[in-house]
Structure 1
Amino acid sequence: MQMVYLGFAGTAAIEAEAGVQLLRLERFGKTLKACHLAIEEVHGLDASQTYDVRLDLVTVSSGFSPVAHHCGTDPLVVMREAFDEAEHELEAKSA
């Protein structure tokens, strides 16, 4: 998995959670060639922090397949939501 942080340095907790979430997709290893994760910290006009998580999958059958963006104030929760969606998409493709 390639992972990039935009607008902040990232944390060990985010790295660890990304590894845990990637394990969820391990069962799709025969169809999943790569996974790209981008986490961007976005500052609102009111100085609030929001995280935009983008997860892109590269599969053997369909190539590049972006998962919808997920946004929220907790990067760990937002990352889990993105991986939830990725898991559902991969399940649907393998059914």
Structure 2
Amino acid sequence: MKLRRRVIGVVVLAVGAVVYVTTVLPVGQLLGVISTKHRDIAELRTLQSANANLRHKIAQLNSPQWIESIARNDFGMYPVGSTPYQILPSSPLYRPPVPQH
């Protein structure tokens, strides 16, 4: 009888070990993979948003209006045939004339 109980105990432990190895361990690995997948999806969305913003910035920087604005404001360049004017601030000593009636 004792031998039979020991054999049954060993068989139960072996079956339990097989069940554990075939079900519990893969589930833990699967949950880890799913967690990694969700993190990667979030990172992908962030990168796609950043790429869209950069594409918009590239399009803006390549536009003729933007290039003209940079040339005018940063480098003092003006189109041929135009007359640039620079308006200076008024002097604190200047007093406009009072109109006489």
Do the structures match in fold with TM over 0.5?
Answer: no
TM-score bracket, normalised by the shorter chain, equals under 0.3
Q: Please tell me whether Structure 1 or Structure 2 has the larger radius of gyration of its CA atoms.
A: 2
TM-score, structure 2 as length reference: 0.22
Q: TM-score, normalised by structure 1?
A: 0.24
Tell me which protein shows more helix as a share of its residues.
2
